[in-house]
Structure 1
Amino acid sequence: MSVTTEKKSEGGILETLRVVAHALIIAVIIRTILFQPFSIPSGSMKDTLLVGDFLFVSKYSYGYSRFSIPFSPPIFSGRIWGAEPTRGDVVVFKLPTDNSTDYIKRVIGLPGDKIQMLDGVLHINGKAVPKERIDDYVEYDAGRPIRVPRYKETLPNGVVYETLDLVENGFYDNTPVYEVPEGHYFMMGDNRDNSTDSRVLSAVGYVPYENLVGKAQVIFFSVEEGQHAWAFWNWPWTVRWSRIFNTL
């Protein structure tokens, strides 16, 4: 091999490395400042979010904290360009008891609110949130349909969403009054009987403002539970086409 050929080969490798490095830097910037992809591993937000959904979370919606940065380095505290979440937002946050774990729930209580469940009805500041029975949610187990009671809730600010009621008189259908501290939020899953959320003070509890990662915006891909997103040869049968580009 001639010296010229060797130099061209080295130059090609260096150029490839530069392109890869630039692509990684751009990806990190986009992930940190704009959007971060997340996948849904559990059914705690059914039927708003299903296992196998992939969604984009906007990092800019509530400003930036150290949890906006990959690996959450403790380089600063609080939030930069902070904005308060709205009641009813679907939010990704770092678990207060384990800052390495991401959770996704709905914002139910704002700082200073009093939250309580009574006979399966959500109460905010002493007032019952309107709850209307709608058509059942139907899922299948080995081809056998399973019907789950479904309700429509309307929060005081007009946000409407659906909840599931797996168990009548479930464990967290009656709770004490939770008083949300300043600088914290009360999160709940839409699948009320299958969600470890702020009602479980020892596991989740009140979520600090700093722990908010971002707001769930849109489902960009979805496959049936138990299927792999990378198995593109199965997509015609496993992709939930009707869920793609659904906004939240």
Structure 2
Amino acid sequence: MKKGPIREWFDALLFAVIAASLIRWATFEAFTIPTPSMEKTLLVGDFLFVNKLNYGPRTPLTPLQVPLTHQKIWGTDIPSYLDWIKLPTFRLPGFGEIERNDVVVFNYPNELDKPIDLKTYYVKRCVGLPGDTLSIDNGSLIINAENLSVPEGLQKRYFIQTDKTINERVFRRYDIWEFTKVTGGYYINTKKENAEAIGNESFVRDITLYKMDKSLTSERIFPDKENYPWNTDYYGPLLVPYKGLEIDINKETISKFGSTILNYENIENVKVEGQNLLIDNEIVSKYIFKQDYYFMMGDNRHNSEDSRFWGFVPYDHILGEASFIWFSYNYQEDNLFKAIRWDRFLNIIK
């Protein structure tokens, strides 16, 4: 029996949705940069593809969801999924492993009210691998007692001392988009060479790199500001847990790793009471981690919500590697032609 035009249209649409869903799940997925936490490596308005083949695609945890959506139906606040069914999830073999300095897209761990695969996507640079000991000293990132190489797009915060009001066009001339006027000058987030260049202007008295004093504690810091009074420029040392790591349970390990065990080790009956870890209502003296963890940081070091504030990223939260930029649009530019960042088309992300 010959199909009518409506049936043919429906079959074609169904095939296209299934094919697109399979490609999106197993190979590449489009992603947009919404915040400046990775500038200048990634800019607000960059559109990129996430490569899931490198680390291996994850099987879906939540199968009941509208195809080609994430969290909500397009243009609405209506959830696009039902969590009535949750499947066991595992990762298919990939072409490689997560390496230090990879730019990684993952599900934000702290959204504990959502299934793993429907948590908000974040993109950061992986600076700490499983088993690494990480610290930050005077703003320098140290891994296993060695300084980590600085990414090309690294931004830090500087203070411009001036009694003049600087026009926005001047900041744009030096590729500076984050600036805040304060008493005595401006705070800017930018690359070192941009800071040095604007520092040569006649109206700038001095320009200095901003760093938090070692005596100060960030209001929000991982793992625990009471026991570990660290900040964004003086942090650690902190061991990144790995699968098979065995720890003694005591005040120190509960403070450092207790929330990780509670929230991400997928144990049904677990709780922390004081300095004790209870599994199935029994106190345990040792614990062996069930999966690898990673420490992520943004390249915009003084304007990034990252592992310094909310902790480790579990392996089962990893989505894929940020691969390349396929389009870029500057929403702060009024001229449409100038707003399109032509020089960023098809840039490989490093």
Label 1:16 to 1:227 Cα distance change in 2 as closer, same or farther (>3 A).
farther
| 1:181-196 map, 5 Å | 181-182=241-242, 183-196=292-305
Match of 1:159 in 2: none
- 1:74-113 Cα shifts (integer Å, max 9, x gaps): 4223422154201111010011112411110011111110
- Give structure 1 stretches of 5+ with no counterpart: 1-6, 153-165, 229-233
| 1:22-61 map, 5 Å | 22-61=15-54
Report the Cα offset of residue 68 of structure 1.
8.5
Report the Cα offset of residue 132 of structure 1.
9.6
Match of 1:112 in 2: 131
Aligned counterparts of 2:28 and 2:151: Cα–Cα separation in 1: 34
* Structure ranking higher in strand proportion: 1
Label 1:243 to 1:141 Cα distance change in 2 as closer, same or farther (>3 A).
farther
Q: Answer whether contact 2:295 2:312 (CA < 8 A) is retained.
A: yes
Match of 2:345 in 1: 244
Look up the SS of the partner of 2:236 in the other structure: coil
Aligned counterparts of 2:143 and 2:15: Cα–Cα separation in 1: 49
* Structure-2-length-normalised TM-score: 0.56
Look up the SS of the partner of 2:299 in the other structure: coil
Report the Cα offset of residue 227 of structure 1.
7.0
Give the counterpart letter for 1:93 in structure 2: F
Q: Which runs of 4+ in 1 moved over 6 A?
A: 132-137
Match of 1:169 in 2: 211
Q: State the Cα RMSD in Å.
A: 3.3
Look up the SS of the partner of 1:237 in the other structure: helix
Q: Answer whether contact 2:101 2:126 (CA < 8 A) is retained.
A: yes
Give the counterpart letter for 1:118 in structure 2: D
Which segment drifts farther, 237-246 or 128-137? 128-137
Look up the SS of the partner of 1:18 in the other structure: helix
| Aligned match for 1:81, one of 93, 101, 104 | 93
Look up the SS of the partner of 1:199 in the other structure: helix
Report the Cα offset of residue 46 of structure 1.
0.3
- Give structure 2 stretches of 5+ with no counterpart: 71-84, 157-165, 177-187, 194-207, 213-230, 243-291
Report the Cα offset of residue 206 of structure 1.
0.7
The structure with more radius of gyration: 2
Report the Cα offset of residue 13 of structure 1.
1.0
Give the counterpart letter for 1:32 in structure 2: W
Match of 1:150 in 2: 191
- 1:12-71 Cα shifts (integer Å, max 9, x gaps): 111111111111111101100110000000000000000000000111111122468876
